[in-house]
């Protein structure tokens, strides 16, 4: 029961540091734990996969904005990038590296934020 209780609580700051020792953004811990609950990430395998994806996408929570220019996403209709400059404007941001106009629009709708007109908000923990 104790292990289950700890799992429900999410991960601790020391666990996050052990998983992502290069982490520069510990302020994301609360949001990561909220995402575990909201995303029904409720098994050790799901939790491991989610944290591994975050670590991979953000360089262990070091980069909240993709290092590359975003030109590779220019004109990518599968990402909803249908306007000139969309590739650079909607390049990967945040711990999961949200990418593409369509994904920014969908995430913004779910969060109640205008991420299409304010894409830099994805780089912030709030």
Residues forming the active site:
57
Query: For the residues of 42-92, what is the DSSP string, one character each?
Result: -SHHHHHHHHHHHHHHHTTTT-SB-SS-SGGGTT-GGGT--STTHHHHT--
In this structure, the chain runs to a length of 126
In angstroms, rounded to a whole number, what is the distance separating the alpha carbons of residues 64 and 93? 5
């Amino acid at each position: 029961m104790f292990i289950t209780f700890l799992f429900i609580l999410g991960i601790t700051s020391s666990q996050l540091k052990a998983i992502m020792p290069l982490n520069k953004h510990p302020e994301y811990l609360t949001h990561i734990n909220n995402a575990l609950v909201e995303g029904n990430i409720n098994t050790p395998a799901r939790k491991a996969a989610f944290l591994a994806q975050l670590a991979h996408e953000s360089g262990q929570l070091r980069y909240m904005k993709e290092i590359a220019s975003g030109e590779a996403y220019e004109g990518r209709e599968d990402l909803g990038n249908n306007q000139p400059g969309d590739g650079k404007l909607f390049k990967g941001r945040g711990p999961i590296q949200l990418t593409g106009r369509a994904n920014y629009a969908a995430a913004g709708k779910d969060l109640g934020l205008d991420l299409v007109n304010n894409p830099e908000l994805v780089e912030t923990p709030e």
